[in-house]
Structure 1
Amino acid sequence: MESKLNDIRKQLQEDGYKLTPQREATVKILLENKDHLSAEDIYMLVKDKAPDIGLATVYRTLELLSELRIVHKLNFGDGLARYELTKDDEEHHHHHLVCLDCGKLEEFEDDLLGDIEEKIEKTKKFNIIDHRLSFFGYCSECNEKGQASKKKTNI
């Protein structure tokens, strides 16, 4: 964790920012939690480590980290932004499976969009730097409870 924290400190410095105690507390929460946390979730966890931090500070920190591509800001169609740290070895962002019944989020690591990206870049002369893909459906647990018979819905 300390190595990743130092990498983030260095990246912030290169971009003209400091790793303030509030930013460090926020980053540590993201490092300690592999879940896709909302700003409010992060705030509640950060408050334990830095009781004087405000929700607005957490939001500003997450927006800065998102702009610098240190974190990914995710939206799964439920009106709630969630955040996760960018992985060092990621050329592209991984994908997500979202259960429409229980809300479970599962990561899907295979990146099968390389050929499509290449075609878009060639035909549209569009320089792709990242993409995001989410699949919406029902997890295995909800399928076992009879959710599989639900009709597909437009999201």
Structure 2
Amino acid sequence: MSYTTKQQQAVLRCLEQRQGEPLTAADLAQALRQEGCPVGLATIYRQLEKLTLTGQVHKINTAEGAFFHLCGHAGGHRDCVLLKCSRCGRVRHVDCTHLQSLYDHLEREHHFRIDPRGTVFTGLCENCTEEEAHGTK
């Protein structure tokens, strides 16, 4: 039986408050310190690892390091994915059943099984697309 520690609750609360913003463990530590809830970096990494394993958090590996994003679909839900805007950096979590047919095709025809928990599509969000079309920013 699993239980939630105060540190895990604090990490989850911080991720919830900053949805749409991929955060590093250091970002979380700083935010929690500012809230008057200091949690050590090693503890944050431990909690993020547990939350990633349970499917509550997406881990985004980049050249700059690992970023974390809250997932509203715990338990390895295969229809959720992250969309990251390459212009503004905002991350959007979406639940789209159309992805399952793509995952099935890749597994059947190309013998490659996608890990949706680690899948991030990059492109332009609606706001940045509109700004680009109007020549702003």
Shorter-chain TM-score above 0.5? yes
Contact map agreement 2:7 2:43 (CA 8 A) in 1: yes
- Answering whether residue 17 of structure 2 is matched by residue 28 of structure 1, we say no
In 2, the alpha carbon distance for the partners of 1:141 and 1:78 equals: 28
- Answering whether residue 121 of structure 2 is matched by residue 134 of structure 1, we say yes
Deviation at 1:124, TM superposition (A): 5.5
- Which secondary structure does the structure 1 equivalent of 2:116 belong to? coil
Report sequence identity in percent.
24
The count of aligned residue pairs is: 129
The higher radius of gyration belongs to: 1
Contact map agreement 1:96 1:107 (CA 8 A) in 2: yes
Structure with larger RCO (C-alpha < 8 A, sep 6+): 2
Q: 1:64 to 1:116 in 2, by over 3 A?
A: same
User: Structure 1, residues 64-84: CA drift from partner, whole Å, max 9, x if none?
Assistant: 211222211123x45242212
Contact map agreement 1:72 1:85 (CA 8 A) in 2: yes
In 2, the alpha carbon distance for the partners of 1:97 and 1:107 equals: 9
Runs of 5+ unmatched residues, structure 1 = 1-12, 148-155
- Which secondary structure does the structure 2 equivalent of 1:120 belong to? helix
TM-score in terms of structure 2 length = 0.68
Runs of 5+ unmatched residues, structure 2 = none
